[in-house]
Structures are given as structure tokens and as C-alpha cells.
Chains A and B, each alone.
Chain A
Amino acid sequence: MFDVARVVEAWPLLAKGAWVTAQLTVAATAVSLIVGTLSAMLQLSGLRAGYWLSRVYVSAMRGTPLLVQLFVVFFGLPLLGIRGEAFLAAVIAIGLNSGAFVTEILRAAVLNVPRGQIEAAEAVGMSRWQLWRRTILPQAFVTSLPALTNEFTILLKATPLASVVAVTELTYAGQLVIARTFEPTEILLTVAAVYVAFVLCLSQVSRRMESRFARRWSIQ
């Protein structure tokens, strides 16, 4: 029933797709972290406009399907004069979507930084920027590491959506093979297995990072 030869034959194309999936995941994670951090800072900065901008961004991203967001970005970019950039559209859509969840994660972590530390930092004369960079953010990132890894696992699992705008990542590579051979079983199960392996790798890496940070910062 399961013909390994079909997988072997399709493997070069699938491996190329898996590499694109990895690139897509890393690029979208970077966008998500940057946007999420800025949005969390904006929301807690005390600026009224900044607070509402961040709230509306988070609500819009969490309230609408990623697939629709991807289409909006994909068909919106040409209006800005950027044409034929499906990979870029996917990175932006997936990154912005995940950034909303990162905002929520970091917001909770920042609010958990003891008030006394912030007062102490102000007392020794740190500027606002130094306060964020040296006192608040490092702790917020370490305490929210498990939640962030969980979020980036979800991000990895969202990358197949890029196949609908013809980014040749793993799922689309699989579809291309199937369109030629009309044998979906082996290919789809292999694709699924590769994602499971990716997710397991990611959770291993995060476990290592957590224990390393925990030792260095002696935070439980």
C-alpha cells in the first residue's frame, strides 16, 4: 500500500520544498518577533494613540483568518507597485499574524516584571530606552520563552497556507509531485511526517534554550 519508491523519487523536490519551508519559518519568525515586540512596547508605552493602534492590530489579526490576510497582502502588494512576490507576501502575512500573538505573550510577561525593578532602574537614572532594553525586555523574553516557542510552532504549522499563492514550500512541492503522478498517499503522508519532525526539532531546541537560560539567569 505504501510504496517507498515513490517517496524516494519525489524526495529531491520535497527536500527543496522543506528548505523553503524552513526559510519561510525563520523569516516570518523574525518579522513576528520584531513587530510583536514593538507592538507590545507601543501598547504599554502610555501613549494613547499607540495603545489603540496596537489593540486594533492585535484584534484584526486575531479576528480574521490567516488565509484571508494572506490574500489581502498578496493582492495588496501590487497596489503598492510590488509585483510577483509571493514569498514576500507570505512572510509579511504570516509574520504580521503571528506578531499579534507575540504582542499578547510579551504584554503579559512585561506586566509581570516586578514594579520595584522598574522603579530601581529609574532611580539609577536609566533612560526609557535603557529601561526597556536592559531591564524589562530581557526578563520578558526569558519568562515567555515557552509561550513564544509554542507560538512559533503554530507559525511553522501555518506556513503550508503559502502554497495557495504558489510559494514552492513543502506542501506545494508535494502537490506538484501529486499533480504529475496522481498518487497522493505516499507523498502527503511523507509531507505530514516532515512537519511532525520539524515540530519535534523546534520543541527540542526550545527545551535546550529554556534550560540554558534558566541556568544563566537562575529563573525558574
Chain B
Amino acid sequence: MLRSLPLLAAGLRWTVVVAILGMALALALSVVLVAMRRSAHRFVRAPARIYTEIILGVPILVLLFIVFFVLPEAGIVIDPLPAGLITLMLYYSPYLAEVIRGALNAVPAGQIEAARTVGMSRFRIAQRIVAPQAVGLMLPPMTGLFIGLTKDTAILSVISVAELTFQAKQVISRTYAPFEVYVLVAAGYWVLTFVLETALRRAETSVTRYRRA
């Protein structure tokens, strides 16, 4: 058991890397989806809405299989790691987009009109009026989604991405102690999600300081 700790530590490091990359990619695509949903053109809005509806109904494991096994059929061969990252991005972006959309819509329209009346540019309005309030509103639900994404990196072990759960399987094939190893691995994830939650809650406290001022 003790000799397998370095292997598990390496797996934990990869889990952190995969989770952070997955969050960044999902966030990037979600911003695109939000922009599409807010577009004035129906033909831009519709694809984003249909995509969201479909993803809400497809399990992430099935999506992973589609990315990993179906794309090569279309001539796009990808390694397990990029396939996993693409899956995390495709799966989490619609959920994140809904959170962002909700937060943007929650900023009172009167404030934006007022800002326009005093002659602020669109960029200034976004920067000084919308963003400070919307970020505070979107952080709590985003924390839940990011924790979900971090936990779902474990699913990438199914296509042999060398993250924590995959390394656990490697260790088990040597030690034959599946129960003990998985309990240890679960503790590792628990610490990881705890750290993530604490960090994001701190961030929320600091961006919503204006409310208490």
C-alpha cells in the first residue's frame, strides 16, 4: 500500500490538471453559448438552445463514448486526454451557460438604463454595473458545477486517462486490495473538492463585499 502512494499522488496531480483545464474549456464554450442565446437572430439562438436541450438529456459517460469512439469513425482520431477534456467541455458548458445567463438577467434593467442615461459606454456598463453584480450571483451555482466537473474527471478513467481513479485501478491490479485503495482515493477526492469549495466561497465573499458596504 505505502509503495503505491507515489502513483496515487501522480494520479491526483493529473486529476487537478484535468479538472482545471476542463473548467477553463467549459467556461470558454459557455460564454459562446450565452452570446448565442442573447443574439438578436433566431438562427443563432436556435442551435444553442437545441444543443442545451440535448446535453441536458445525455449522460456524461455516453457522451464520452460518443466523443472517443464515434469521432474516429468520422476520421477524427483523438487521444484519451483530449477526448476527456472535450467531453467535460461539451457536457458542462450548457449548465454553466444557464448559470451565467440567469445571473446576467438578474441585474435590474433599470440600472442599465440609468447607466446609459448618464452616458456610460456599453463596455463601461458591462464593466462597472453588470459584471460586479453578476459575478457574485453566478459564483455559488458555479461552485456546485465545478465540483461536479472535478468529480466527473473520475469517469475519464474508463478511457484510460491516467488520473486518480485510473491509477487506483493500476495499484489494485498489484495489491489486490480494491476496497482499501478506493476508500483512500475517495478521501483524496474529498480533500480536493473541499479545497475547491473553500477557495470559491472565499472568492464569493470577496466579490460580494459591496453588498455589505
By a beta-carbon cutoff of 8 Å, the part of chain A in contact with chain B is: 59-60, 62-69, 71-72, 75-76, 79, 157-161, 163-164, 171, 175, 178, 184-185, 188-189, 191-192, 195-200
List the A side residues contacting B57 at CB < 8 Å: 157, 195-200
Given contacts A157-B59, A199-B56, contact A184 B65 (CB under 8 A): yes
Give Cα distance in the complex from A199 to B55, angstroms.
11
List the B side residues contacting A67 at CB < 8 Å: 154-155, 157, 165
Give Cα distance in the complex from A108 to B158, angstroms.
36
* A160 close to B61 (CB less than 8 A): yes
Given contacts A64-B151, A64-B189, contact A188 B183 (CB under 8 A): no
Please tell me if B51 contacts chain A, counting CB pairs below 8 Å: no
Task: Find B182's partner among A62, A71, A158, A161 (CB 8 Å cutoff).
Answer: A71
Which residue of A has the minimal Cβ distance to B179?
A: A75
List the A side residues contacting B54 at CB < 8 Å: 196
Which residue of A has the minimal Cβ distance to B190?
A: A63
Nearest Cβ on chain B to A24's Cβ, whole angstroms: 12
Nearest Cβ on chain A to B142's Cβ, whole angstroms: 15
Task: Find B179's partner among A62, A64, A79 (CB 8 Å cutoff).
Answer: A79
Chain B positions 152 through 177: 1 when the CB is less than 8 Å from some CB of chain A, otherwise 0: 11110110000001001000000000
Please tell me if B118 contacts chain A, counting CB pairs below 8 Å: no
Nearest Cβ on chain A to B156's Cβ, whole angstroms: 10
* A161 close to B179 (CB less than 8 A): no
Main DSSP-derived SS at the A contact region: helix
Interface residues of B in 31-64 (CB under 8 A from A): 54, 56-63
Give Cα distance in the complex from A135 to B165, angstroms.
45
- How many B residues touch the partner, as a band? 20 to 34
Task: Find A63's partner among B69, B70, B193 (CB 8 Å cutoff).
Answer: B193
Please tell me if B185 contacts chain A, counting CB pairs below 8 Å: yes
* A65 close to B59 (CB less than 8 A): no
Given contacts A68-B185, A68-B189, contact A161 B62 (CB under 8 A): no
List the A side residues contacting B168 at CB < 8 Å: 68, 71
Please tell me if B79 contacts chain A, counting CB pairs below 8 Å: no
* B165 close to A189 (CB less than 8 A): no
Give Cα distance in the complex from A119 to B204, angstroms.
37
Nearest Cβ on chain A to B91's Cβ, whole angstroms: 10
* A72 close to B62 (CB less than 8 A): no
Give Cα distance in the complex from A76 to B183, angstroms.
10
Chain B positions 126 through 168: 1 when the CB is less than 8 Å from some CB of chain A, otherwise 0: 0000000000000000000001000111110110000001001
Give Cα distance in the complex from A75 to B59, angstroms.
24
- Apart from A62-B147, A185-B69, A200-B57, what 11 extra A-B contacts exist at CB < 8 Å? A63-B147, A64-B151, A64-B186, A64-B189, A65-B152, A67-B154, A67-B165, A71-B178, A184-B65, A189-B66, A199-B57
* B59 close to A195 (CB less than 8 A): yes
A-B contact pairs, 26 of them (CB 8 A): A62-B147, A62-B193, A63-B147, A63-B190, A64-B190, A65-B151, A67-B155, A67-B165, A68-B182, A72-B182, A72-B186, A75-B179, A157-B57, A157-B60, A158-B59, A159-B59, A160-B62, A161-B155, A171-B59, A178-B69, A185-B73, A188-B66, A189-B66, A195-B57, A196-B54, A200-B57
* A65 close to B154 (CB less than 8 A): yes
Given contacts A65-B151, A65-B189, A71-B182, contact A184 B61 (CB under 8 A): no
Give Cα distance in the complex from A178 to B57, angstroms.
22
List the B side residues contacting A79 at CB < 8 Å: 179
Which residue of B has the minimal Cβ distance to A78?
A: B179
* A192 close to B62 (CB less than 8 A): yes
Give the top 8 A-B pairs by smallest Cβ distance, nearest first: A196-B57, A65-B154, A75-B178, A199-B57, A184-B69, A65-B151, A63-B190, A160-B61
